[in-house]
Structure 1
Amino acid sequence: MESIQQTFQKMKNSKSILGHFERLKEDVLSDKWVNEFITANPELPESELDRNISRLFEFRNERKNCSICMSLQSCPNMMKGYQPELYVERQQVQIRYNVCQKKLKADESKRQHSLIKSLFIPKEILAATFDQLDQDNRSRIVAIAKAVEFATTTTPGETGKGLYLHGKFGVGKTYIMGAIANELAERNISTMLVYTPDFFRELKSGIHDGSYNVKLDLVKKVPVLILDDLGAETMSSWVRDDILGVILQHRMLEKLPTLYTSNYDFDELEEHLAYSQKGGIEQLKSKRIMERIRHFAEPVFIEGENRRGM
């Protein structure tokens, strides 16, 4: 695109400057958007328009770019994502740039995604929406309905009730949780998705680098926490009592919803939590953890084929 400065430079080097100017003026004033501006401001004298042909030229070219723009990424304007607007101030023609709809939408999407924090969760999960979920069996229909109800009605701090999605490996439990997180972002509710086995390992390493308390507090206090694949971790008394127990106790007291995915049902998870590598079988401690999970999370079973292999 030729700039107005380049155009006027050519005019200066020409013997027919006036002719070039008149042709440029005619071209600019015939533009439909410039015409709309002139029609809306009939009090502007022609001399003011003449003085601002360069400004009108800039507006015409940038506005033309906007009319054929396909995406924010391909925007050719000087200020990517901004649309020009002509206005009158003190009887003088002025131009300003406003954020275009594509940039507004992109900025809103970025803001919403900033509300979703994740630890060790695949990117495709973070992009999940309810519209994309297959409803190919009754259990999935029920699970999706429960997920939609939670995502559209929960109020962290007022109700601590969550969901416990369980079923075989690969039936889509985590993907449903991703859809919940995105719906909550629409409501400006911050969510953290955590792949539990890796997070527990991360916390263990945090003892040595000094980040343990910071990471633990982050998970304890986030408005909505999703613990993915609970039960896949190697259980120890420390993980169960000093990590999981501490997280769930705080969230219970603050009425912050916690959601879970697991291959285990409640009874199987209780058995898993009872066994630790060094402590043997500790059923009482396992029951304490399960009491917090059972009371504050509704179990929802999902059946079906392994979707990851499809």
Structure 2
Amino acid sequence: MEQVQFNFPLTKEQEEQRQKRFEKLKNSETMRQWLKRNRCDEHFLWEHSVKMEQLLTRYETCQSCQGLHQCAYAKKGYVLDLTFEQVLLEQLTPCRYMRKKMQELAHLQNYRYCDLSEAQLLINLETLDVSKESNDYKTMLKQVVLSAFKKQKGVYLYGKPGVGKTYLAAGIANHFAKQGQKVAFVNVVRLIQDLKGMFGDSDAIAKRMELLMRVPVLVLDDLGGENITKWSRDEILLPLLDARMEAGLFTCFTSNYQYGDLQRQYQYASGIEEEMNALRFLERVKALSCEIFVKGSSRR
């Protein structure tokens, strides 16, 4: 049976519009590069001028974009692209800003557990601008970097709220993640809340604890800021620190309390004074870290 074909001739106005589109596409360096990548010739532009004009418009929109915050598309950072493999194929591809972001966050794959924001994942202590910082801050930062980056010992960063303890700890965690080491950054307040929510699911609690006990690099952020109970101290944090101390694993802390004040925080976990239990807890923190005071005004 002979196949029926439908050919609708273009009007003169439509022919002129098509020719105009073709000339625009043919003279576009962006389109010439597309043709080269996809091994197509100018005849292809003529045959698919409407589709290719739509593609060029998308490319031009992206070229004038100043960042992901200005992205004009529904899926931020992705543009609907065209490739030719016998037929035209549409696919979402990351734009230049998204590719840069993906590269900057590539180390995220080495985080086994992460309580950091995207902005905190970009912190790099090695490129930190300290030109406007005080000499005391520079000295402290040097101490943090020398101790932590060389893995001489974990660090215990303490100071008033907002002085940048979490910022420094995030930089330490990012440093090791970029080196390919497995890392966990844990907010202690959130950890205790999460584990309380797992009551009745002993397997889930054991799995979380096993991860934190064994991960090569662990940051415990805001130690002492959680709702301290005998359970959280003696059944969660103490076994965690014990396991890491025995395995010699790198552990860092941030806290609002210096060592002595931290002991007092954990001394009344059960409502009565338990000096020995609090001392046992503190001795493990000390064994895993060196105490560094983070001085300065609030950075929030």
In structure 1, C-alpha distance between the alignment counterparts of 2:264 and 2:193, rounded to whole Å: 21
TM-score where L is the length of structure 2: 0.70
1:263 Cα shift?
A: 3.5
SS at match of 1:280: coil
TM-score, normalised with respect to structure 1: 0.68
Residue number in structure 2 paired with 1:105? 100
How far apart are 1:247 and its partner, in Å? 0.3
Pairs within 5 Å for 1:1-310: 14-35=11-32, 47=43, 50-54=46-50, 56-72=52-68, 74-76=70-72, 81-82=78-79, 99-109=94-104, 111-112=106-107, 115=111, 117-118=113-114, 130=125, 131=128, 136-149=133-146, 152-154=149-151, 161-197=153-189, 199-208=191-200, 210=202, 211-233=204-226, 235-277=228-270, 280-283=273-276, 285-305=277-297, 307=298
Deviations 1:36-68 (A, max 9, x none): 567x69x97765554454554344333333332
Equivalent AA in structure 2 for residue 62 of structure 1: R
Query: Is the contact between residue 274 and residue 282 of structure 1 (CA under 8 Å) also seen in structure 2?
Result: yes
Where does the alignment leave 5 or more consecutive residues of structure 1 unmatched?
1-10
One-letter code aligned to 2:210 = D
Shift of 1:136: 3.5
The aligned amino acid for 2:281 is I
Structure 2, unmatched stretches of 5+, are: 1-7
User: Residues 266 and 13 of structure 1: is their aligned pair in 2 closer, same or farther, counting only changes over 3 Å?
Assistant: same
Give the Cα–Cα distance (whole angstroms) in 2 for the partners of residues 191 and 133 of structure 1.
Answer: 26
Distance 1:101 1:258, change over 3 A: same
Residue identity over aligned pairs, in percent, reads 24
CA distance in 1, matches of 2:69, 2:162: 35
Task: Flag the 1:153–1:46 CA change in 2: closer, same or farther, 3 A.
Answer: same
Q: Is the 1:52–1:93 contact (alpha carbons within 8 Å) kept by the matching residues of 2?
A: no
Q: How many Å apart are 1:291 and its aligned residue?
A: 3.5
1:7 is aligned to: none
Amino acid in the other structure paired with 1:304? G
Deviation at 1:147, TM superposition (A): 3.5
SS at match of 2:198: helix
* In structure 2, distance between residues paired with 1:81 and 1:275: 53
